[in-house]
Amino acid sequence: MSESFGRFRRSDRAVSSTVNYIQVLGIATLLISGLVFVAADIVTDQHDRATTEGLTVVGTQLAAELEATDVLVRSTGGDGTVERTVDLPTVSGGQYSVAISETGVAHEYDLTLTTTGSGHSVTIPFVSDTPVVPASGLDGESLRLVYQGDGTRELEVRDD
């Protein structure tokens, strides 16, 4: 009996299984943690790209609306009144602001869209023979384009 007890005592079987189990759990935890961090970065990058592309699409759409309004104003000879409402979609489920500025070159303007949450920004150039009043801080969901030929003869962009 003392011999069998001695053999059992020298066996590393139980310790070996426990150590192996802990090592496997540790390695699996490290691998899963690494995958989660990498996946989070990928999702963030995808969201950033989707936001930038969405702002570009909306900015291009708004620039086209401004240029079309310029064509309407010129078709009236500059004496008529033109009012248009432009409804724009949301971008990546968030809100954005619109700013219009002069570039310093005649008839050329920059349209800048900036998300309020993440601060992503896109600038789209556009051309208008009708002077456009510089604007900033406009909400990007619904805008009104207004031209009154009897007044300042400028195209104004307002929140609707």
pLDDT 10s digits, 46-100: 888 888 999 999 999 999 999 999 999 988 887 888 999 999 988 877 889 999 9
What integer pLDDT is reported at residue 64 of this predicted model? 95
Separation CA 60–CA 91 (nearest Å): 13
Q: Is the pLDDT of residue 8 over 80?
A: no
> What is the pLDDT, as a whole number, of residue 69?
93
Is 12's pLDDT higher than 90?
A: no
Would you say residue 153 has pLDDT above 60?
Answer: yes
Identity (one letter) of the amino acid at 91?
A: V
Note whether 77 and 143 are within 8 A (CB): no
Look at residues 135, 99, 111 and name the one whose alpha carbon lies nearest to residue 61.
111
Closest by CA to 139, choosing from 70, 103, 91, 102, is 91
In the chain, what percentage of residues exceed pLDDT 90? Answer: 49
Per-residue pLDDT at 10? 55
Is the distance from CB of 129 to CB of 108 less than 8 angstroms?
Answer: no
Residue 91 is given by DSSP the state B
Contact 152, 137 (CB under 8 A): no
Across all residues in the chain, what is the average pLDDT? 86
Contact (CB, 8 A) for 98 and 138: yes
Task: Over range 30-48, report the average pLDDT.
Answer: 88
Buried b (16+ CB within 10 A) or exposed e, 137-159: ebebeebebbbbeeeeeebbbee
Q: 3-state DSSP call for residue 52?
A: helix
Asked if the model's pLDDT at residue 115 lies above 80, the reply is yes
Given a cut of 80, is residue 6 above it in pLDDT? no
* CA-closest candidate to residue 55, choices 112, 117, 136: 112
Task: Give the per-residue pLDDT at 9.
Answer: 54
- Say if CB 84 and CB 106 are below 8 A apart: no
